Structure 1
Amino acid sequence: MIKRWLIGALSIYIVSFFMEGISITGFKGALFASIVLGIVNVTIKPIISLFALPITIITFGLFTFIINGIVLLIASYFSTSLQVAGLGTAIIGALFLSIINSILTNALDKKE
């Protein structure tokens, strides 16, 4: 669990380093933002996903990218250490965050 949290924080830090519209206040801020993003993912994202289910079905799942962007934007609202410029930036940032998180998880979570 701690490893996932650190991987999430590192992913947020990397995304904020490369994306202009996303900023984070240091690695401690990334750690806090990772906690907030995890809480939002567990509590608010299922509700949004449920209400957006018809649109998600019509778009063959592509609306999930927008849902992830909305979740990142909501997390930035609750976290003082994470700032996201807008919804477009949040959607692209969430996409990169997912990719980087997946790469880091696969690289660092190898089982012997």
Structure 2
Amino acid sequence: MLSGLWNLFIRALGTAVALWVVTLLIDGVSIATPDVILAGDGSYDRLLVFLGVAAVIVVLNMLVRPVLQVIGLPITLITLGLFALVINAAIFLLAEWISQALGLGLSIETFLDAFWGAIIMAIVNWLLGPLTGLLSSKR
């Protein structure tokens, strides 16, 4: 049980880094900290918000993405896999909606921003994969 939570935390940490890169590269994607202080003196609130949004994305990728992939399988086959990029963008937009409901400040302006943001997140997570895999196997 503890190793499962550790793996979830490591995946959320890698996704938080990827999300940070997306906010740097895509103007239409931003994260705002809440008006209230989340912890301590508030100096780590931005990090906590990134981790919270990343946790939402990780959970959606674990629970919702497989369902959407099965439902979209015929279209994915017809488009030679390109529809998977649309599914990733939809998950990213769903993460925005849930994070807004939770009071976390993820904001995505357009579908195109979500599309490119999801691609960048996938690339950064792929690049971080060996490191997060190494950290996950340590526990």
- Structure 1 counterpart of 2:18, which letter? S
Query: Is the alpha carbon distance of 1:44 and 1:110 closer, same or farther for their aligned partners in structure 2, counting shifts above 3 Å?
Result: closer
Percent identical pairs in the alignment equals 29
Task: Note if contact 2:12-2:54 (Cα within 8 Å) is conserved in structure 1.
Answer: yes
Moved more, 29-38 or 80-89: 80-89
Q: Secondary structure at 1:30's aligned position in 2? A: helix
Rate the CA distance shift 1:57–1:13 in 2: closer, same or farther, 3 A. same
Of residues 25, 48, 52 in structure 2, which corresponds to 1:32? 52
Aligned length: 111
Say whether residues 1:85 and 2:109 are aligned partners.
yes
Structure 1 position 44, deviation (Å): 1.6
Matches within 5 A, 1:1-112: 1=7, 2-25=9-32, 26-80=46-100, 81-107=105-131, 109=133
Structure ID, larger Rg: 2
Runs of 4+ in structure 1 deviating by more than 4 angstroms, as ranges, are 107-111
Shift of 1:67: 0.5
Paired AA for residue 19 in structure 1: I
My pick for the range that moved more, 57-66 or 19-28, is 19-28
TM-score between both structures, scaled by the size of structure 1: 0.88
Query: What are the ranges of 5 or more consecutive residues in structure 2 without an aligned counterpart?
Result: 1-6, 33-45
Structure 1 residues not aligned, in runs of 5+: none
